[in-house]
């Protein structure tokens, strides 16, 4: 099976490419960046890597037309809630126009399977105890979340109109080795180790459904294999939300240092909590997260090698 991964040089993308190559898939990587781990990976396994922007439709058409993959895993995106308020046009262009370009290329070259990376952010401040995929009253509260929800709807439209099998995965706060430096767990870990005060948003009781990267990759693999319906949305999370205070204390305990913090107000676009209902993913995908938060933090700290 040949699988094209957009954003294949990113945090999730690199882990996915590694896993796919171990399963003897042919892998094609499309990304704006090609350095470090991505360059080493592509050179080691001799997979095809294309440097370019998914917003450049001519570039994308050339790659997809040449490679004609069996499946596209569309991970490439402008990521992050806070930056989306500062650079909303970038998010609309990459996450909506870029996704449309991918779908148009699939239509043109008869590629009939896509796995689309969405986000738990689409739920906004959802009031239910667990966030379910069949919720019909979700209200995104950031440009990033809006762009991801629009991406899901584009995927649905093309799935229905052009007979494309599609799976949208709503990722819940992914963390682990190779995580970006600006994301909370890495930023907090490095600050605690170096004795730098951290900013605690709100009173520390807000919570996130943190999901270890290995579980996310397993979710993507199951989605690639899934063929029992034409279009589905699945939550990919841990199912066990962790408060901000608990996250900080778990990191501090693992690195053996005291966390020093000061409280600041909640940031624009941040939701108070996220909590994945995994019943649908468990039933239809067989998805079952394996890595507890404590174990995930231990493995992440070991990777940082303090």
34 pLDDT band (50/70/90 cuts)?
A: low
Q: pLDDT tens-digit profile of 244-257?
A: 999 999 999 999 99
Using DSSP's 3-state secondary structure scheme, residue 209 falls into coil
Catalytic positions, please?
Answer: 144
The string of DSSP letters for 140-179 reads --SHHHHHHHHHHHHHHHHHHHHT-EEEEEEE--EESTT-
DSSP secondary structure code for residue 122 in this structure: G
306 pLDDT band (50/70/90 cuts)?
A: low
Specify whether 114 is located in the same domain as 260.
no
Specify whether 168 is located in the same domain as 252.
no
- Provide the domain count of the chain: 2
Give the domain CATH number at 265: 3.90.25.10
Dist. CA 148–CA 121, nearest whole Å: 8
Q: Give the residue from 159, 171, 161 showing the smallest Cα distance to 11.
A: 171
Dist. CA 233–CA 226, nearest whole Å: 12
- Assigned token pair, 184: 């909370």
210 pLDDT band (50/70/90 cuts)?
A: very high
* Residues spanned by the domain of 145: 2-175+212-238+276-290
Q: Give the residue from 120, 111, 165, 108 showing the smallest Cα distance to 3.
A: 111
Specify whether 136 is located in the same domain as 49.
yes
- The better pLDDT of the pair 100, 263 is held by 100
Give every CB contact of residue 110 below 8 A, 6+ residues apart in sequence: none
What's residue 270's pLDDT?
85
What's residue 238's pLDDT?
97
Specify whether 188 is located in the same domain as 108.
no
Using DSSP's 3-state secondary structure scheme, residue 97 falls into helix
Tokens 């899934």 locate to 226
- Assigned token pair, 151: 């991406």
Inform me whether the pLDDT recorded for 35 exceeds 70: no
Q: What is the pTM of this model?
A: 0.95
- The better pLDDT of the pair 20, 42 is held by 20
Identify the weakest region by mean pLDDT among 55-59, 97-101, 224-228, 259-263: 259-263
**Torsion sign across C-alpha atoms 173, 177, 183, 186:** positive
Q: Within 13 A of 217's CA, how many CA atoms are on the CB side?
A: 22
69 pLDDT band (50/70/90 cuts)?
A: very high
pLDDT over 90, % of the chain: 81
Specify whether 150 is located in the same domain as 196.
no
Specify whether 78 is located in the same domain as 217.
yes
Give the domain CATH number at 81: 3.40.50.720
Specify whether 169 is located in the same domain as 51.
yes
Dist. CA 178–CA 15, nearest whole Å: 9
Paired strand residues for 174 = 211
Give every CB contact of residue 298 below 8 A, 6+ residues apart in sequence: 254
Strand pairing report for 207-208 and 242-243: antiparallel
Specify whether 72 is located in the same domain as 14.
yes
Q: pLDDT tens-digit profile of 72-113?
A: 999 999 999 999 999 999 999 999 999 999 999 999 999 999
Give every CB contact of residue 153 below 8 A, 6+ residues apart in sequence: none
Q: Within 13 A of 118's CA, how many CA atoms are on the CB side?
A: 31
Specify whether 48 is located in the same domain as 63.
yes
Based on C-alpha coordinates, what's the Rg of the chain? Answer: 19
Specify whether 149 is located in the same domain as 131.
yes
Q: Judge contact between 231 and 166, C-beta under 8 A.
A: yes
Dist. CA 212–CA 200, nearest whole Å: 22
Specify whether 94 is located in the same domain as 226.
yes
Give every CB contact of residue 249 below 8 A, 6+ residues apart in sequence: 259
Specify whether 157 is located in the same domain as 70.
yes
């Amino acid at each position: 099976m040949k699988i094209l991964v957009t954003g294949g040089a990113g945090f999730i993308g690199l882990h996915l490419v590694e896993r796919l190559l171990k399963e003897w898939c042919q892998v094609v990587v499309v990304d704006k960046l090609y350095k470090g781990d991505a360059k080493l990976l592509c050179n080691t396994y001799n997979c095809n890597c294309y440097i370019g922007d998914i917003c450049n439709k001519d570039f994308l058409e050339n790659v997809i037309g040449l490679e004609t993959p069996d499946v596209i895993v569309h991970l490439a995106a402008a990521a992050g809630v806070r930056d989306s308020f500062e650079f909303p046009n970038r998010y609309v262009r990459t996450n909506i126009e870029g996704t449309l370009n991918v779908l148009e290329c699939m239509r043109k070259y008869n590629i009939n399977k896509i796995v689309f990376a969405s986000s738990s952010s689409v739920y906004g401040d959802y009031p239910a105890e667990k966030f379910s995929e069949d919720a019909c009253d979700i209200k995104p509260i950031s440009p990033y979340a809006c762009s991801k929800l629009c991406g899901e709807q584009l995927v649905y439209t093309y799935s229905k109109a052009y007979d494309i099998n599609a799976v949208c995965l709503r990722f819940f706060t992914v963390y682990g080795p190779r995580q970006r430096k600006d994301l909370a767990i890495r930023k907090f870990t490095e600050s605690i180790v170096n004795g730098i005060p951290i900013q605690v948003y709100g009173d520390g009781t807000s919570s996130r459904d943190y999901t270890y990267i290995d579980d996310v990759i397993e979710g993507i693999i199951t989605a690639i294999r899934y063929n029992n319906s034409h279009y589905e949305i699945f939550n990919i999370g841990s199912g066990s939300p962790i408060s901000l205070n608990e996250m900080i204390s778990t990191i501090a305990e693992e690195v053996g240092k005291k966390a020093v913090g000061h409280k600041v107000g909640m940031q624009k676009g941040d939701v108070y909590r996220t909590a994945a209902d995994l019943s649908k993913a468990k039933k239809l995908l067989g998805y079952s997260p394996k890595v507890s938060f404590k174990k995930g933090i231990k493995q992440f700290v070991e990777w940082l090698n303090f």
